[in-house]
Structure 1
Amino acid sequence: MREKIHIYHTNDVHSHFEKWPRIRKFLKERKALHEANGEDVFIFDCGDFVDRWHSFTEGTLGKGNVELLNDAGYTAVTLGNNEGLTLPHDVLNHLYDEAEFDVLAANLYLPGGTRPSWALPYQIYKTSKGTKIGVTAATAYYRPLYKLLGWELSEPLSELENQIAELQKQADIIIVLSHLGMHDDQKIAENNPRVDLILGGHTHHVFMNGKKVNHTTLCAAGRYGEYIGYIEGEVDTKNFNASLFETAVLDSPPNAAEYIKDLDEIGKDLLQTEVVTLPEPLDYSWLEQSDLPAILCEALYKWCKADCALINSGLILSALEKGVVTKYDLHRMLPHPINPCVVELSGAELQEVLVKAEESGLSELEFQGLGFRGVMMGKFVYHDIEYGKDGRSIKIAGAPLVREKIYHLATLDMFTFGVFLPPIKNARSKIYYLPEFVRDLMEWELKQRYK
């Protein structure tokens, strides 16, 4: 009788726990079914399972997410940029202390070139019939940002080639857990024909029935737990049939709503630390001038010690009432894992940024991603920038903009990653501030104003 294995995979769940009760139920039931039939089951996550936009993740600093993965019976996970770049060094270093699964991250190092004890370059799993399944993994190459947090990254494609070469000597089947994105996964398959499966993520792409590249099958399950990936593999023939289960049509456990609510309540309870007491309420608007976006923009300006500052008002998702403000209130208002950034622009480039911000209709754009967890971009808000209606009479710190002068603009890291404001994305110099999020700057500023 031919040996059959079953592989389930998720990626880019981003703490979207509204889908989790169905995912959990499905994985537990399927695992029990296969094991009852004497067949081996492996469950993998390809990164960005942790996302601090959710109060449960924020309150537990990701350790609650690890408990969920334990409970669902995962075999191994890899890091996404949300695990790697939104947690301070010591927090990430202890995130998986209670993990009952392996953490694979071949290209993550400590300064000096040693590996963290919890991050394995690969692992070999042996089936009940003795087949050796070698699994390695790599995360997206944001090396300068990791460096700011006290980590080192090796270039992922060359690192994976080294690990795959080692696995070729030891394993019958080779699997890569990739948080590199669709295009890099294609390159891995083209350059490493001995790889059998690449389970992908990062770019939130979907392969409904996998994608064959030479010998290798590429798999991906979208984002936010919308799909669960499944591969049925015949070991002897190395025939892998990939498919996706749509989570929305799976059976929901009877207590799903209560389960989801409980996670939020746990986070809320953990975030009840008092930050400040407000003598008056502070409002917000995405389309008009309002209190909270202006306060945040000034906080960014002062924190970064820049010449001027720019944010989008869509960052603010709730008002603050008069009275006690807690960390939960600030998290609800600013859930985004977005960091401060300073970019160096010429006056001409800064003028181009402001014209696009004011006159391109960008403020009405609805989007999510790049750390932004809101609804729409919203009106752009400035500090020490005056924008004339004709786009020409611009003042920086009260003085007319000089096109040849170099300015330091405090802004959001998402504008350096996205295509919204090209001069910022292409800036000659970028300084990132990690691990502070914009909500940390808001807390700092409110404490200064309302001691």
Structure 2
Amino acid sequence: MKQFNIITLLGLVILIAAASCDSNKKEQPAKEQIITVLHTNDIHGSYQPFQTLKGNATAQTGDSVDNYMTFPRNGEIGGFARLATVVKKIRAQKDSNSVLLIDGGDTFSDDLLSNLTKGEVVIRLMNELGYDMMVLGNHDFDYGLDRTKELAELADFPMRAANVIDTVTNKAIFDEPYKIIRKQDVRIALLPIAYRNTHLTGNPKNMEGIRFEQGLATIKKYLPELEKKADIIVVLSHEGMTVDKLIADELPNVDVIIGGHSHDYIRPPYKSNGTFVVQAMSDAAVLGETELILEDGKLKDLKTKYHFLYADEWEADSTIVKLVEDYRKDYRSELEEFLAVAEKPVGRQYKMESPFDKLVTNILKDEMKSDVAFMPGVGYGITLQDSIQREDVFKLIPHPANIITLNLKGEQLYNLLQQTATNLNPKDKMDIVGGLLQSSGISYTIDLSKPEGERISEVKIAGKDIDLKKTYKVATHAGMLNGIHNYSHFAEGTDIQKTELKLNDFVAKKIKEMKQISVPENMGEVTMIGKH
């Protein structure tokens, strides 16, 4: 009996101890961690600071589909030297094993010095800052695929895109569709997604040997694999905010989408089904700081900060300043050639009538003696103000396309206008591409609330109603013949005359002859109704 009691007593002690241990386990607080993701996007070769104006659109250009952004105040902003200062400060304040620095693409093109070094200056500066990854944007093929590959070798970080497929190997470009990085023992999957319509935004010859697949389908392809390998799944997207929202709505297993292409900053972060979407404007003017708040290794919440890199708030990093000066010294006379003075600021807009592009199309129309002139409508650049140097103009027209003239029927011109209306607001948001077709000499009303194909009315050329059967002379640049932004009707033209004049050189020369420029008097040729 005594033996039985002792055994019973021991059993009770063991049960109580086990219950106590189980209780202690339940009472243990969840382990919280913070991983900081620093992010830039759409740098467009902007290694130098620039002057911005209150009310001007993001990077002077980024009037997004549904999130029109402007700078909060006047001042000098941006540049890699100030970007480096903020990155170093944040890294110093936090655990060095808890910070990532990534870029959302459209990174090293669209600037005169970038063009002269074919992107090298920006990649060298990114190496100095210690980037962890960059997704390839549509403008990251502007120097041709071979040069993109050379820059990828030069970079100390992976430049990737899971949906850019090598047509020979049928694998993702550079054979690595994603990367898993450990921070504080947390496995973070970075899945880079390029712009699905890249082939419609540049020279097709630059993209021979690769194809662009839809980002949403690519993410779905890799998600099951990443869920097994990673604790946190981050999509580094160059698809634009509208498409990023669609991805978030459809794929709840993606934790965070860090975006690019549409030049937005999103505050508060967009959230759908537990997926967050963030983006940090453009042109190295803003650094995004997104804190991932984890509980037991899983994303619980996030917080965002946006550091506007105004010169009066942040000092320039001396190491980066010296690197920039070393690169500029061999090209200084070309970069800083004085051209003219802007009496009033002349900026660029993307999805609405643009003052700078009106200036360019006016020059084309007058000098080529055409009835109408067109520019494709692009989302990068600066505002011309005060003293204008050669590199300022090349920031707005970086690509050396030849000026051309051709003849188009009135019906073809009308169809071009219908196409730009479709581009701005298609039925399928995946088909959004490019900005408003910029023009001079043709006036019309565009109503985006109407069905596709019925959005253009009151078309006039030289003050007269357009004659659909009449032939009109058109001036533009050779890139339009490649069907940029789905403008296939340019290639249907007759009497196509390709001049030896490079558009950017020619415009710079004409601005220098003008000595002074201002907002063109014929702004308002396009009347827009309805939301994008």
TM range (shorter): 0.5 to 0.7
Indicate the SS of the match to 2:152: coil
1:153 is the counterpart of 2:212? yes
1:246 is the counterpart of 2:308? yes
In structure 2, which of residues 38, 58, 61 is the aligned counterpart of residue 8 of structure 1? 38
Indicate the SS of the match to 1:93: helix
Q: Which residue of 2 aligns with 1:268?
A: 331
Matches of 1:79 and 1:437, distance apart in 2: 32
1:120 deviation in Å?
2.8
Indicate the SS of the match to 1:118: helix
Matches of 2:35 and 2:225, distance apart in 1: 23
1:255 deviation in Å?
4.5
Matches of 2:394 and 2:441, distance apart in 1: 16
The aligned amino acid for 1:187 is L
Matches of 1:190 and 1:380, distance apart in 2: 43
1:114 is the counterpart of 2:179? no
1:185 deviation in Å?
0.6
Q: Which residue of 1 aligns with 2:191?
A: 136
1:216 deviation in Å?
0.7
CA contact (8 A) 1:193 1:216 kept: yes
From the superposition, tell whether residues 31 and 107 of structure 1 become closer, same or farther in structure 2 (CA, over 3 Å). Answer: same
In structure 2, which of residues 112, 125, 149 is the aligned counterpart of residue 68 of structure 1? 125
The aligned amino acid for 1:265 is R
Aligned runs of 1:8-157 on 2, under 5 Å?
8-16=38-46, 17-18=48-49, 19=78, 20-35=80-95, 39-53=97-111, 55-84=112-141, 86-112=142-168, 114-115=170-171, 118=174, 120-129=176-185, 131-142=186-197, 143-144=199-200, 145=202, 147-149=204-206, 150=208, 151-157=210-216
The aligned amino acid for 1:238 is L
Gaps of 5+ in 2: 1-30, 50-77, 344-355, 418-432, 443-459, 493-497, 509-532
1:98 deviation in Å?
1.6
CA contact (8 A) 2:41 2:281 kept: yes
Indicate the SS of the match to 1:177: strand
1:197 deviation in Å?
0.6
Deviations 1:284-319 (A, max 9, x none): 9989999x9459965xx9xxxxx987257x99x99x
The aligned amino acid for 2:307 is F
Q: Which residue of 1 aligns with 2:347?
A: none
Indicate the SS of the match to 1:135: strand
The aligned amino acid for 1:240 is D
Q: Greater Rg, structure 1 or structure 2?
A: 2
1:11 deviation in Å?
1.0
From the superposition, tell whether residues 35 and 165 of structure 1 become closer, same or farther in structure 2 (CA, over 3 Å). Answer: same
Matches of 1:52 and 1:105, distance apart in 2: 20
1:403 is the counterpart of 2:462? no
Gaps of 5+ in 1: 273-280, 302-306, 319-328, 355-368, 382-386, 395-401, 418-423, 447-451
Matches of 1:7 and 1:289, distance apart in 2: 40
1:126 deviation in Å?
1.9
In structure 2, which of residues 189, 206, 222 is the aligned counterpart of residue 163 of structure 1? 222
The aligned amino acid for 1:210 is P
1:245 deviation in Å?
2.2
TM-score by length of 1: 0.67
Q: Which residue of 1 aligns with 2:280?
A: 221
Deviations 1:141-167 (A, max 9, x none): 223547432131112211121122321
Indicate the SS of the match to 2:42: coil
Indicate the SS of the match to 2:245: helix
1:138 deviation in Å?
1.1
Q: Which residue of 2 aligns with 1:326?
A: none
Deviations 1:208-257 (A, max 9, x none): 33221111111111122332111222332512323122222642137499
Instruction: Between 71-80 and 43-52, report the one with greater CA deviation.
Output: 43-52
1:391 is the counterpart of 2:446? no
Matches of 1:408 and 1:379, distance apart in 2: 12
1:77 deviation in Å?
0.7
From the superposition, tell whether residues 431 and 127 of structure 1 become closer, same or farther in structure 2 (CA, over 3 Å). Answer: farther
From the superposition, tell whether residues 288 and 194 of structure 1 become closer, same or farther in structure 2 (CA, over 3 Å). Answer: closer
Aligned length in residues: 376
From the superposition, tell whether residues 40 and 65 of structure 1 become closer, same or farther in structure 2 (CA, over 3 Å). Answer: same
Deviations 1:73-125 (A, max 9, x none): 111011112213x2223212212212111112011123335347636310111
From the superposition, tell whether residues 351 and 295 of structure 1 become closer, same or farther in structure 2 (CA, over 3 Å). Answer: closer
1:190 is the counterpart of 2:249? yes
The aligned amino acid for 1:189 is A
Matches of 2:41 and 2:91, distance apart in 1: 18
Matches of 1:270 and 1:195, distance apart in 2: 49
Q: Which residue of 2 aligns with 1:366?
A: none
1:270 deviation in Å?
9.8
Matches of 2:500 and 2:95, distance apart in 1: 47
Identity %: 22
The aligned amino acid for 2:92 is A
CA contact (8 A) 2:161 2:173 kept: no
CA contact (8 A) 1:77 1:103 kept: yes
Q: Which residue of 2 aligns with 1:173?
A: 232
TM-score by length of 2: 0.58
Matches of 2:99 and 2:137, distance apart in 1: 23
Instruction: Between 136-145 and 168-177, report the one with greater CA deviation.
Output: 136-145
